[in-house]
Amino acid sequence: MTRRSVEDHAREVAALLEPALTPRTEAVAVTAALGRVLAADVWSPLDLPPFRNSQMDGFAVAAETVRTVPVTLPVSTTVAAGSAGPDRLEPGTAVRIMTGAPLPDGADAVVPVEDTSPGDGADAVTVHRGRVSGEFVRDRGDDVHAGDLLLAAGARLTARHLSMFAAVGMSELPVRRRPRVAVLTTGTELVAAGNPLRPGQIYESNGIALAASCESNSAEVVLLDRSPDDSDRFRELLRRATAAADVVLTSGGVSMGDFEVVREVLTPLGGWFGHVGMQPGGPQGLTVVDGVPVLSFPGNPVSTLVSFEVFARPLLRRAAGLAPVAADSVTLLGPLTSPAGRRQFLRGRLVDGGVRLESGPGSHLIAALARADVLIDVPEDVTTMEAGENVQVWPL
């Protein structure tokens, strides 16, 4: 069996996946853009607010007319939000105005309704507290001006971004096309959750693990299916996967036992199957099928997820326009051991002052992985580390 370092395998994977994951831009409706990555800088097409308006329900006045209080002013009319209102405020009068309604020229302050009482006569208001020019007035463009940069390319769109784009009247946005990924899991022992387990069976978990990992890195899962260890069935699913996706991820069936369906089907198609110097995730595979790269991970759940983080995540993020995940250097809070000649990715949890091991090295320890929030990256040539040493961690 051939061997490779993590770096060498990552390079081979990148050489095949990068051309398949060339970044592309598409336009989507603002209403469908949540979580997408902005593909270009976006500039405001208009001023926001688009016109001078009231910040309160109250009375639009010239501030100088309410300098001395109490004072009673005639009310000329009422302006609701959504109506154009009068062009001008007659000197010495007030306009009853609602929040968001346009301020007439000549008015430069709003007296909140709670600082007034009805004046004598049919329509008049008595003001009990004066306001200076500009109070409770929202000026045109005081948030953003036409031509201002609203958001730079690369941002992952959230509710507050979409609120801003809707407010300036945009209905479509340029976003990165999401890389299309197909996920195939293998194993005759696997049963979908919700069904009873018969002797020897386990619940399938790598499918959702890989699919969710893709989604959280802005990739789109176009196919998610499960094959028994049966070559014909796997071949059929693979055909569907390569027809639908930019990249196919498989789990299981790559090591040296019997019934290794992925290795058996893909090796004759020119696939590379071998051992990568890492733990977990030693056995790996890489093939191009019908022009589509197929990245094959071992089936142990922790191996599958660590393989995704190490080999697939950086490439999917780049294709999606997301910033790379950065490693951090933190203090190790307890000792650890690691096999010589293998880069080890141990599960850790960040706590005050550093990182502690969350589990042993077993690649079947799924619940322990769920408790972890980082991978502790122990270099190939390191076999022991002591508490207090600095260690590199990758956020999960």
Q: Are 47 and 145 in contact (CB under 8 A)?
A: yes
Q: Which of 58, 179, 187, 271 binds ligand AMP (CB under 6 A)?
A: 187
Packing angle of the helix pair 313-320, 6-20 (nearest 10 deg): 30
Q: Which of 15, 32, 80, 202 binds ligand AMP (CB under 6 A)?
A: 202
- Exposed, middle or buried by CB within 10 Å (0-12, 13-18, 19+), for 102? buried
User: To the nearest 5 percent, what fractions of the chain are helix, strand and coil?
Assistant: 25, 35, 40
Q: Is 300 in the site for ligand AMP (CB under 6 A)?
A: yes
Instruction: Please state the closest distance from residue 382 (CB atom) to Mg ion, in A.
Output: 31
Instruction: Please state the closest distance from residue 250 (CB atom) to Mg ion, in A.
Output: 11
The rounded distance, in Å, linking the Cα atoms of 334 and 104 is: 70
Instruction: Please state the closest distance from residue 229 (CB atom) to Mg ion, in A.
Output: 6
Judged by CB, which is closer to ligand AMP: 108, or 204?
204
Site string for ligand AMP, 253-292 (x = CB under 6 A): x-x-------------------------------------
The rounded distance, in Å, linking the Cα atoms of 110 and 92 is: 14
Q: Which of 116, 206, 287, 344 binds ligand AMP (CB under 6 A)?
A: 206
> 373 touches which of Mg ion, ligand AMP, none (CB within 5 to 8 A by kind)?
none
What is the CB neighbour count within 10 angstroms for residue 326? 7
Q: Which of 93, 218, 242, 251 binds ligand AMP (CB under 6 A)?
A: 251
Q: Which of the stretches 2-10, 135-143, 183-191, 348-356 binds ligand AMP when contact is defined by CB under 6 A?
A: 183-191
Q: Is 190 in the site for ligand AMP (CB under 6 A)?
A: yes
Of 396, 336, 293, which is closest to residue 284 (Cα–Cα)? Answer: 293
The rounded distance, in Å, linking the Cα atoms of 372 and 387 is: 18
Query: What residues are paired with 292 via a beta bridge?
Result: 289
Structure tokens at 181: 């990924």
Of 29, 27, 378, 297, which is closest to residue 174 (Cα–Cα)? Answer: 27
Q: Which of the stretches 8-16, 59-67, 125-133, 182-190 binds ligand AMP when contact is defined by CB under 6 A?
A: 182-190
Judged by CB, which is closer to ligand AMP: 9, or 176?
9
Instruction: Please state the closest distance from residue 186 (CB atom) to Mg ion, in A.
Output: 6
What is the CB neighbour count within 10 angstroms for residue 335? 12
Residues near ligand AMP (CB under 6 A) are 185, 187, 189-190, 202, 204-207, 251-253, 255, 298-301
